[in-house]
Amino acid sequence: MSAPAPRAAPEALPILATEGLGKRFGHFRALSGVTVAFPEGGITAIIGPNGAGKSTFFNLISGAVPPSEGRVLFRGQDITGLAPHRFARLGIAKSFQITNVFPHLTVRENVRVAAQARRVRFALFRDRAAFPELIARAEALLGEVGLGARMDRLARELAHGEQRALEIAVALAAEPALLLLDEPTAGMSPEETRDMMDLVQRLAETRTLILVEHKMKLVMGVSRRLVVLHQGELLAEGSPDAIRAHPEVRRVYLGKSA
Amino acid sequence: MTEGAPAARPGSGRTGRWLARASRHRVALTLAFLLVFPWIAPYQALAVNILVLGLYALGFNLLFGYTGLLSFGHAAFLGGGAYGCGIAIVHYGLHPGLALAAGTLLATLIAAAMGVLAIRTRGIYFAMTTLALSMCVYYAFYRAEAFTGGENGLRGINVPSVALPGVRLNLLDPTVKYYAVLAVVGLAIWLFSRLLSSPFGAALEAIRENEHRAQACGYDVARMKLAAFVISGALCGLAGALQAIHLSIVPIEIMHYSTSGQAVMMALLGGMGTFFGPFVGAATFSLLQDGLATLTSHWQLFVGAIFIAFVLFLPLGIWGEVLARLRRAGW
Amino acid sequence: MSDLTIGGFPLDLLGLQLVTGVALGAIYVLVGIGLSLIFGLMNVVNFAHGAFFMVGAYVGVFLYGYTGSFWLSLVAAPLAMGLLGLAVERVLVRPLYGRGIDDPLLLTFGLSYVMVEGVRIAFGLTGLPFGAPPELRGAVDIGIGYFPLYRLFLIAFSMAVVGALWLFIERTAFGLVIRAGARDPQIVQVLGIEISKVWLAIFGLGCALAGLAGILAAPLQGVTPEMGIPVLAEAFVVTVVGGMGSLAGAVLAGLIVGIVVAMTSLVAPDMTKMAIFALMALVLLVRPRGLLGRAGALG
């Protein structure tokens, strides 16, 4: 895996790519030398056993944490080290592993204020109601994630699964080109997990999603490509079938769970 | 103690019909109350005090209640406004209207300078940094004796009357003075309300609720915080300028951090993050101070104890608690 | 030696002023460490820290009047403030855990009003004069000139306290808990220790250090009910400059602030107070997280 070589469509520019990406915390190398490209469209899942460096990788490509080495490219543009809000404005949205909404705002206002971030930020003396298209957009997105009936509740009053769905609506509000999800089903009941994976698949029909997932089974069937991390390094990448057949992956990952 | 957890807030919850209506007409309702207030207040000079302190607490509340930033440096803005206005009148003989503008401008500049530095720190750090920076301003004004009168304060801000096109307002008449001040404060209240309803106000609330999420949405949190800090400073500066004219003297203590603490106390007593709370807090604080001072010279003991009791048992403040109860009752 | 000058000041004068700065800095160090300790572990800014400093001084001076022993005061003042700190944490601060991070700050701010006014009621508005005890009066020759004995004692004693504190944190079992707790409160729970007990002890220890600083400062300036008010603001500068929650940072920054004060008072006496805050503004511009940042929390 030396150079980024997207196999799906050679001429197409990957939406996101990393070059030699690494992160050290003091003497501890959480991640090193990861070079990988993510194709436009569909779901690419980042998998790996505990401690593989998945969350670190997620934090680096989402701009939450600056890398110690290497670069992150968004549609060919170097975005390494940009402030988090710049990532958002470029069209990279993310949903955190820990539920991360605006607890004391209504569900509708959560998404409306997120949708507003792209258009009007410093309008000091116009009423927020003067932008009905933002409210309409918020309500449409809430319908899409299945929260259409809960729009007047405070975000903190929602159940855990609903809050994750709300967070995804908040992330989508900025009309991102790329949506990053960190373990979207963490801490969910089996029904909630199923609902969430249905939602993820629906979203991927029209968008590009990258998701970090611990449970390999969940993503095998739905992902277009898989990236496998192990001990802070890239172990393999490719189609689900290629990953299933990959001897190294079988040894360190599947072998253990089989 | 989780980092960044917002303090107790009434929230903007599922509001009943009546509260929603009241919220839509919050400026009119607040002004209606302030129009009749002198006839309720024990005496008129106190009413003017409460009006000015209310504006001070209102400006502070933009940052504390709505943006979630606890500043202990707002005395520098109140004081900057007061000194700016007082100096414009005493040393340059400016029209009181221009002097108000000069005071507000000086406070805004101080806020911008302090804000650029303070915004670099986060969380609890912010309170300490703003306090320390405001003390820097305090000592600077203390030393600039030629302009500020130093330790003795700035004296002789005599504004017996204000000439406006067509009228001359006699400020020696307490009623005229109250309504003249209310005209300015009312304008500030209206601007403040517009600001809260604006997309910018919505973004500030988002930053208060969850700074990281707001940033991930694409908000430049540092710049927005700075803007809120400066606007908050300008409102407090206007309050200070009015106070200079009202009291005709600017004591140096106005810039000391204990005056910042006064804003914190008023905001908490009244109810942070509520529109009318600052005026309730200002009235409570003034009446408490006045009432206790006639009983004991050690009134600060009781003010401190009452404040502790509020933090422990009534963190929403008086007005915040009233709103929360009405909301629970389905209003 | 004395004909060498820097900026018009003879070298030995500058040397003496430097030692004066270190003596002043010793007070800042003790106050700053207490504040940083409480912040580093509990994420609480103790706004009553200056009040604890002041009450500690009063307790010491009051006892001195009765017993005539400065040494007894030196033990009793921190002990009394430690006990008061324990009571305050247990009764007032503990109910606030789990609420907003600003709540303990607001509460201790109210508490400082009560403590200052309480002292005014008990001891009057005007304050008490207080000098160095007889055995520590006078001056000794330190090679570059005569220097007040009490200030030398102040430096030595403070350094001994800081050294003992360092050994306590680095070498004892409880010190290990403190270091772990500063990184992650959950680790402490895994060790089988109730974090609330650690917080209680830390709050008491921090307040005791403030009380100790108070009685040590008393012979320099006498005691007044308001003596803690500027100290609180200056202690904030020390923690911001040193790096919040960093004990080593508090030591370094305390000494720097002391030296800056001493040197400014030589060059521009009017600007002494401003210099403290200008220093902080400078650090914020260049290194917002403070000299020894949060990375090495209690290192």
Residue-wise DSSP of B24-55: HTHHHHHHHHHHHGGGTSSSHHHHHHHHHHHH
B214 contacts in chain A (CB < 8 Å): 102, 117
What are the tens digits of pLDDT across the range A25-34? Answer: 877 888 888 9
Chain B's closest residue to A105, CA to CA, is B12
**Beta partners for residue C223, in sequence order:** C128
- Range of B61's domain? 42-257
Say if B33 is an interface residue toward chain C (CB within 8 Å). no
Residues A177 and A126 sit within 8 Å (Cβ to Cβ)? no
Nearest to B198 among A62, A85, A124 (CB): A124
* Mutation choice for B interface testing from C106, C107, C282 by most B CBs within 10 A: C106
Say if B253 is an interface residue toward chain A (CB within 8 Å): no
Does residue B4 have a pLDDT over 50? no
Choose the mutation target among B67, B110, B129 for the interface with C, i.e. most C CBs under 10 Å.
B129
How does strand A16-25 pair with strand A69-74?
Answer: antiparallel
* Residue A217 domain flag: yes
Q: Are residues A108 and A143 in the same domain?
A: yes
Single-letter amino acid, residue C240? V
pLDDT at residue number C243? 85
Residue A162 belongs to what domain range? 92-175
In the sheet that holds A178-182, the strands lie side by side as A92-95, A178-182, A208-212, A42-47, A225-230, A233-238
Question: How many Å lie between the alpha carbon of C36 and the closest alpha carbon of chain B?
Answer: 11
B177, exposed or middle or buried, with CB in 10 Å at 0-12, 13-18, 19+?
buried
pLDDT digits (tens, 9 = 90+) for C66-96: 998 999 999 999 999 999 999 999 999 999 9
Contacts of A90 in chain B (CB under 8 A): none
Interface of C with B in 244-263 (CB under 8 A): 244
pLDDT at A118 over 90: no
User: What value does the mean pLDDT of chain A take?
Assistant: 86
On whether residue A197 sits in a domain, the answer given is no
Chosen for mutation from A95, A122, A131 (greatest number of chain B CBs closer than 10 Å) is: A122
Q: What is the mean pLDDT of chain B?
A: 91
pLDDT at residue number C295? 46
Identity of the residue in B139, B300, B305 whose CB atom sits nearest the CB atom of C274? B139
Percent over 90 (pLDDT), chain C: 56
| C-beta atoms of B135 and C233 within 8 A | yes
* Region A127-155 average pLDDT: 90
Identify whether the C-beta of residue B204 lies closer than 8 Å to the C-beta of residue B67.
Answer: yes
Residues C239/C182/B206/B258 CA torsion (nearest 10 deg): -30
C297 pLDDT exceeds 80?
A: no
Q: Determine whether the interchain pair B140/C274 forms a contact, defined as Cβ–Cβ distance below 8 Å.
A: yes
pLDDT band at residue B304 under the 50/70/90 scheme = very high
What distance in Å separates residue B239's CA from the closest CA in chain C?
Answer: 23
CA distance B199 to A146: 26
Q: How far is B15 from chain A (nearest CA, A)?
A: 9
Residue C218 covered by a domain: yes
Task: Answer yes or no: is A47 within a domain.
Answer: yes
ipTM of the complex: 0.90
Query: Which residues span the domain enclosing C213?
Result: 19-135+147-227
Q: What is the residue whose two structure tokens read 């933090």?
A: B311
- Beta carbons of B236 and B247 less than 8 angstroms apart: no
Q: Nearest CA to B55 among B39, B31, B38, B72? A: B31
Nearest-neighbour CA in chain A from B73: distance (Å): 24
pLDDT band at C3; cut points 50, 70, 90? low
pLDDT at residue A189, rounded to an integer: 87
User: Going by C-beta distance under 8 Å and a sequence separation of 6 or more, which residues neighbour residue A143?
Assistant: none
Give C237's contacts in chain B (Cβ within 8 Å).
Answer: 132
Question: What tokens were used for A125?
Answer: 């003396």
Say if the Cβ atoms of B215 and A121 lie within 8 Å: no
B178 has a pLDDT exceeding 90: yes
CB-CB neighbors (< 8 A) of C109 in chain B? 261, 264, 307
Measured between alpha carbons, how far is B320 from B328 in angstroms, rounded to an integer? 12
Do A82 and A139 belong to one domain? no
Please tell me if residue C226 touches chain B, with a CB cutoff of 8 Å.
Answer: no
Residue of B nearest to A122 (CA): B200
Nearest-neighbour CA in chain C from B211: distance (Å) = 15
Q: Considering chain C, what percentage of its residues have pLDDT values greater than 70?
A: 97
Kindly tell me if the per-residue pLDDT of B273 is higher than 60: yes
C residues 166-225 lying closer than 8 A (beta carbon) to B: none
Of all residues in chain B, the one with the smallest CA distance to C98 is B1
Residue C4 is predicted with a pLDDT of 74
> Is it the case that residue C298 has pLDDT exceeding 50?
no
Between B15 and A77, residue with greater pLDDT: A77
pLDDT tens for each residue of C244-281: 778 889 999 999 999 999 999 988 888 888 899 989 88
- Our count of domains for chain A comes to 2
Band (A169; pLDDT cuts 50, 70, 90)? very high
What is the pLDDT confidence band of residue A136, given thresholds at 50, 70 and 90? very high
pLDDT tens, residue by residue, B125-152: 899 899 999 999 999 999 999 999 999 9
What letters, b where the CB count within 10 A reaches 16 and e where it falls short, cover B224-248?
bbbbbbbbbbbbbbbbbbbbbbbbb
**pLDDT, position B270:** 95
What is the per-residue pLDDT across A172-202, written as a single tens digit (0 to 9) for each? Answer: 998 899 999 988 888 888 888 998 899 999 9
Which of A96, A101, A113 is closest, CB to CB, to B203? Answer: A113
Residue A193 lies in a domain: no
When comparing pLDDT for B254 and A206, which is higher?
B254
CA B4 to each of CA B21, B222, C102, C103, C107: distance values in angstroms, whole numbers, following the listed order: 32, 15, 9, 12, 18
* The pair of three-digit structure tokens given for residue B326, joined into one six-digit string: 């009405």
| B199 in reach of chain A (CB within 8 A) | yes
Residue A184 located in a structural domain? no
What pLDDT does residue B1 have? 34
Taking residues B69-88, report their average pLDDT.
Answer: 97
Instruction: Give the CATH number for residue A143.
Output: 3.40.50.300
- Which of B195, B198, B205 has its CB closest to that of A105? B205
Residue C188 pLDDT grade (very low, low, confident, very high; cuts 50, 70, 90): confident
Do C245 and C40 form a contact (C-beta atoms < 8 A)?
Answer: yes
As for how many domains chain B has, the answer is 1
Answer yes or no: is C1 within a domain: no
Residue of A89, A111, A124 to mutate, testing the B interface (most B Cβ within 10 Å of its Cβ): A124
Chains that touch B (3 or more CB pairs under 8 A): A, C
Q: Is residue A203 part of a domain?
A: no
Query: What percent of chain B has a predicted confidence (pLDDT) above 90?
Result: 73
Residues B60/B69, Cβ–Cβ less than 8 Å: no
Q: Is the same domain home to A97 and A128?
A: yes
Question: Is there a domain that residue C131 lies in?
Answer: yes
Q: Which chains touch A (3 or more CB pairs under 8 A)?
A: B
**pLDDT tens readout for residues C143-167:** 888 889 999 999 999 999 999 999 9
- Mean pLDDT for B305-318 is 95
- Shared domain for A64 and A42, answered yes or no, is yes
Q: How confident is the model at residue A147 (pLDDT cuts 50, 70, 90)?
A: very high
Q: Give the up-direction half-sphere exposure of residue B231: CA atoms within 13 A in the CB hemisphere.
A: 27
Beta carbons within 8 Å of B159's beta carbon, 6+ residues apart: B89, B96, B171, B245, B248
Instruction: Specify which of B87-101, C129-143, C175-189 reaches the highest per-range mean pLDDT.
Output: B87-101
Nearest CA in chain B to A109: B202
Nearest-angstrom CA–CA distance, B37 and B181: 13
A94·B219 Cβ contact <8 A? no
Locate tokens 């309480």: which residue?
A: C118
On average, the pLDDT of chain C sits at: 89
Considering CB atoms only, which of B8, B301, B305 is closest to C100? B8
Residues of B in contact with C282 (CB under 8 A): none
Most confident region among A111-125, B101-115, B143-157, C158-172 by mean pLDDT = B101-115
Of C23 and A256, the structure prediction assigns the larger pLDDT to C23
Is the residue at B135 inside a domain? yes
* Residue C185 C-beta-side C-alpha neighbours within 13 Å: 15
pLDDT above 80 (res B176): yes
Give tens-digit pLDDT for B9-59: 444 445 677 888 888 889 999 999 999 998 888 788 889 999 999 999 999
Q: Is B8 helix (H, G, I), strand (E, B) or coil?
A: coil
pLDDT score for A2: 44
C277 in any annotated domain: no
Distance CA B121, CA C293 (A): 12
**pLDDT over 60 (residue B3):** no
Whether the CB-CB separation of A52 and A252 falls below 8 Å is answered with no
Asked if residue A242 and residue A226 are part of one domain, the reply reads yes
Of C288, C254, C291, the closest CA to residue C28 belongs to: C254
Query: Does residue A103 sit in the same domain as residue A170?
Result: yes
DSSP-assigned states of every residue in A9-77: -TTSPPSEEEEEEEEEETTEEEEEEEEEEE-SSEEEEEE-STTSSHHHHHHHHTTSS--SEEEEEETTE
Comparing CA positions, the residue from C240, C227, C234 lying closest to residue C285 is: C240
Q: What is the 3-state secondary structure (H, E, C) of C190-211?
A: HCCCCHHHHHHHHHHHHHHHHH
Could you tell me the end-to-end alpha-carbon distance of chain A, in angstroms, rounded to an integer?
27
Considering the domain architecture, whether residues A221 and A168 belong to the same structural domain is answered as no
CA C260 to chain centre: 17
Same-domain status, A72 and A102: no
Give the nearest chain A residue to B13 (CA atoms): A154
- Do A80 and A130 have their domain in common? no
Same domain, A246 and A217: yes
pLDDT at residue A257 above 90? no
Phi-psi sector, C192: left (phi>0), alpha (psi -120 to 50), beta = left
| Residue-wise pLDDT tens digits, B212-261 | 899 989 999 999 999 999 999 999 999 999 999 999 999 999 999 999 99
Residue C289: CB partners within 8 Å, gap ≥ 6? C243, C244
H or E segment to which residue B95 belongs: none
Residue B108: count of CB within 10 angstroms of its CB: 22
Q: Collect all residues from A whose CB is shorter than 8 A from any CB in B.
A: 62, 83-85, 87-89, 93-94, 96, 100-106, 109, 112-114, 116-118, 120-129, 131, 152-154, 170-171, 173-174
> Is pLDDT larger for residue C142 or for residue C184?
C142
Q: What is the pLDDT of residue C299?
A: 33
Residue of chain B with shortest Cα separation from C117: B301
Domain total of chain C: 1
